[in-house]
Chain A
Amino acid sequence: MANELAAHCVVSGVAEGEVIASSQSISFWGGVDPATGLINDPRHELFGQSIAGKVLVFPFGKGSSTGSLMILELVRVNKAPAAMINIKTEPILATGPIVCKHFYGKEIPIVTMEKSLFDTLKSGQYAKVNASLGRVIVRD
Chain B
Amino acid sequence: MHLTNQEKSILSGSQGEAARIALQILVDLGEIFGADEMIPVTQVHIDTTIYMVDAGVEFAERMAELGGKFVVPTQLHPSAIDLVRWKELRVDPELLEKSRRIERAYLQMGAMATWTCAPYQQGLIPRFGEQIAWGESNAIAFANSVIGARTNRYADLMDICAGIIGKGPRFGLHLSENRKAEILITLEGFTEEMFTDRAIYPLLGFVFGEIAADRIAALEGIPSGVPIDSLKAFSAAAASSGAVGLFHIIGVTPEAQTLEMCSQGEPLERFEITPAMLRNAEERLSDNKIGRPDLVVLGCPHFSEEEFVLLAQLLRGRQIHESITCWVFTSRKVYSLIETNDILKELQLVGVDVFTDGCPLQYPTKNWSFHSAMSDSGKFVNYCYSQTGLKVVYGSLDECVETAVAGKLYKERALWRTN
**Partner among A10, A63, A95 whose Cβ is within 8 Å of the Cβ of B158:** A95
With the chains together, A92 CA to B54 CA distance in Å? 19
- Given A66-B52, A90-B214, A91-B152; 9 other pairs, CB 8 A cutoff: A65-B47, A65-B155, A68-B156, A72-B59, A73-B55, A92-B155, A95-B29, A95-B156, A101-B28
B180 at the interface (CB under 8 A from A): no
**Partner among A10, A62, A67 whose Cβ is within 8 Å of the Cβ of B32:** A10
Residue numbers of B with Cβ under 8 A of A are 21, 24-25, 28-29, 32-33, 47-48, 52-56, 58-59, 62, 135-137, 140, 152-158, 172, 214, 243, 386
A26 at the interface (CB under 8 A from B): no
With a cutoff of 8 Å between Cβ atoms, the chain B residues found around residue A91 in the complex are 29, 32-33, 152-153, 155, 172
Is A68's CB under 8 angstroms from B59's CB? no
Interface residues on A, range: 20 to 34
Is A102's CB under 8 angstroms from B24's CB? yes
With a cutoff of 8 Å between Cβ atoms, the chain A residues found around residue B52 in the complex are 34, 66, 69-70, 73
**Partner among B21, B32, B137, B154 whose Cβ is within 8 Å of the Cβ of A103:** B21
With a cutoff of 8 Å between Cβ atoms, the chain A residues found around residue B172 in the complex are 91
With a cutoff of 8 Å between Cβ atoms, the chain B residues found around residue A98 in the complex are 25, 28-29, 32
Nearest CB on B from A37, distance (A): 12
Q: Given the known inter-chain contacts A65-B47, A73-B53, A73-B54, please indicate yes or no for A103 contacting B153, CB distance below 8 A.
A: no
With the chains together, A34 CA to B214 CA distance in Å? 25
With a cutoff of 8 Å between Cβ atoms, the chain B residues found around residue A67 in the complex are 155-156
A99 at the interface (CB under 8 A from B): yes
With a cutoff of 8 Å between Cβ atoms, the chain B residues found around residue A66 in the complex are 47-48, 52, 156
With a cutoff of 8 Å between Cβ atoms, the chain B residues found around residue A73 in the complex are 52-56
With a cutoff of 8 Å between Cβ atoms, the chain A residues found around residue B47 in the complex are 65-66
Q: Which residue of B lies closest to A41 (CB)?
A: B386
With a cutoff of 8 Å between Cβ atoms, the chain A residues found around residue B56 in the complex are 69, 72-73
Is A68's CB under 8 angstroms from B32's CB? no
With the chains together, A76 CA to B55 CA distance in Å? 7
Nearest CB on B from A7, distance (A): 14
A75 at the interface (CB under 8 A from B): yes
With the chains together, A92 CA to B155 CA distance in Å? 5
With a cutoff of 8 Å between Cβ atoms, the chain B residues found around residue A11 in the complex are 28, 32
Q: Could you list 14 A-B pairs, sorted by A, with CB under 8 Å? A: A10-B32, A65-B136, A66-B48, A68-B157, A69-B55, A69-B59, A72-B55, A76-B54, A91-B32, A91-B153, A92-B153, A95-B25, A95-B29, A95-B158
Is B29's CB under 8 angstroms from A102's CB? no
Sort A-B residue pairs by CB-CB distance and give the 7 closest, nearest first. Answer: A73-B53, A95-B155, A73-B55, A68-B155, A69-B156, A72-B55, A92-B155
Chain A, range 54-90, C-beta contacts under 8 Å to B: 62-70, 72-73, 75-76, 89-90
**Partner among A30, A69, A99 whose Cβ is within 8 Å of the Cβ of B25:** A99
A113 at the interface (CB under 8 A from B): no
Is A94's CB under 8 angstroms from B32's CB? yes
